[in-house]
Amino acid sequence: MRVVVTQLAASAHLNLVVPLGWALKAAGHDVVIAAQPDIMPLVQQTGLMGVAVGDEARYAERVAAMAPEETIYGSGYSITEIRPEVLTYEYVRDCLAAFASPMALDVNTDESVFDGMVDFCRSWRPDLVIWDSMTYTGPVAAAACGAAHARTTIGRDHWGRLRELFLRLRAERPEAAGEDPVRDWLTAKLEKYGCEYDDDLVLGQTTIDSLPSWLRLPADYDYLPVRYVAYNGPGTIPDWLRAEPERPRVCVTLGNSYQEVWAGRAKLGYPDLFEAVADLDIEVVALLGPASVPAGATVPDNVRIPGFVPLDPLLKSCSAIVHHAGTGSTLTALLNGVPQLIIPHALHDEDQVADAIEAHGVGVHLPPDRFSAETLRTELQRILNDSTFTERAQKTSQEIRETPTPHDLVKDLEEHVLRHRRTAG
């Protein structure tokens, strides 16, 4: 069968779907990754075929040029909101409306991307479209060409949770029966291509999720679980990584989105980091890039700043990781059984992920407002000295490895296509 995979034009999103693309390709299927032109160089490095659709994304440039009130972060609504007292019908409805608008989803993929995706799918005629939950070019193109489609999550599925909550709250209000901002937004997209709205276009005919069950949000929804397989892009293993470390090795990373989407505006506090670890008997590998070190900062002798190193092989040698709670970093650490010290960014639900990691006993949540050289040192020493963190992390790693692999998922997707593929619309 022919499969189109599409996602947000950011490497963190691309990396999550590459192993599934490989599995489909290895099973004999034709796979094409369709996304905006500025991510095509990275797509070419995956070994899978790519096709550029629409104009360039230019996320960092566009986000930097927007006034705060023009972004979803300045709208007063958060899709990750979990406080029951806040989640009224009006809040949930208006939050969904804010996301299905130029503040959020239309920033991810503009009209040029929809046009390009639909044109490509109508000419290539895929049997299956696999789409990123933060973009809607996938389901719209699937409707336009008759393909089956499946959504992939890029973290905890707050969009699905909020959609489910909206429908439940609306059912309690007969006067609100006709309200549905997501349906209205999506209908306008579909009408341009002569297609009709269907409820399964909102959350997919099925959803592929690589999170362990305890990290997933509770929902009355049929997920296809798949084992997380780490893909960090092409790279080589440096000589220093081939030997066993002489003392405990700690990785520090801020992830890809830090640079690509937010242009390095998040703050870890490098001088505090260097102060915290300077006299500890550990080796710190900081995946920050030499240019990220502030002018005048002194890098201790036990801190290595090597530039890019693939995270998966690095973590196999590490005793702990300090990171921001991005999906790739979190899951790669879980996969490798490495205890985590999380100082979350404020991009999505990183604080909630950090809480879940701490509650599961595989790491510690250090909120940014508590971050200092002293607290970092204290929590890092706690993780390194308390063996229960490592024991629990290794047990969790084994549980993840018992989840169906992308190879196992191929048969499910083949059957899904037989059930859902239609004549072109």
Average pLDDT score, the chain: 93
Tell me how crowded residue 197 is: count the other CB atoms within 10 A of its CB: 17
pLDDT at 148 over 70: yes
- Is this structure's pTM higher than 0.85? yes
Q: In what order do the strands lie in the sheet with 363-365?
A: 303-304, 283-287, 249-253, 320-323, 340-342, 363-365
Proportion of the chain above pLDDT 70, given as a percent: 95
What is the per-residue pLDDT across 259-273, written as a single tens digit (0 to 9) for each? Answer: 555 444 445 667 889
pLDDT of residue 297: 80
Which part of the chain has CATH 3.40.50.2000? 2-227+403-420, 239-401
Is the distance from CB of 240 to CB of 340 less than 8 angstroms? no
Tokens linked to 137: 């070019």
pLDDT at 204 over 60: yes
What is the per-residue pLDDT across 216-231, written as a single tens digit (0 to 9) for each? Answer: 998 888 799 999 999 9
Task: Note the helical H segments in 27-178.
Answer: 40-44, 59-65, 89-99, 105-108, 111-124, 137-145, 158-171
d(C-alpha 55, C-alpha 32), whole Å: 18
At a CB cut-off of 8 Å and minimum separation 6, what does 255 contact? 12, 323, 324, 326, 328, 329
* Fold exhibited by the domain 2-227+403-420: Rossmann fold (3.40.50)
Under the banding of pLDDT at 50, 70 and 90, the label for residue 248 is very high
What is the per-residue pLDDT across 117-146, written as a single tens digit (0 to 9) for each? Answer: 999 999 999 999 999 999 999 999 999 999
Is the distance from CB of 254 to CB of 323 less than 8 angstroms? yes
pLDDT of residue 259: 54
DSSP state of 300: P
What is the per-residue pLDDT across 276-327, written as a single tens digit (0 to 9) for each? Answer: 999 999 999 999 766 677 777 889 999 999 988 999 999 999 999 999 999 9
Under the banding of pLDDT at 50, 70 and 90, the label for residue 351 is very high
The tokens 């929902």 sit on which residue? 219
* Fold exhibited by the domain 239-401: Rossmann fold (3.40.50)
Under the banding of pLDDT at 50, 70 and 90, the label for residue 341 is very high
Tokens linked to 355: 């809480």
Classify burial at 359, counting beta carbons within 10 Å of its beta carbon; exposed 0-12, middle 13-18, buried 19 or more.
Answer: exposed
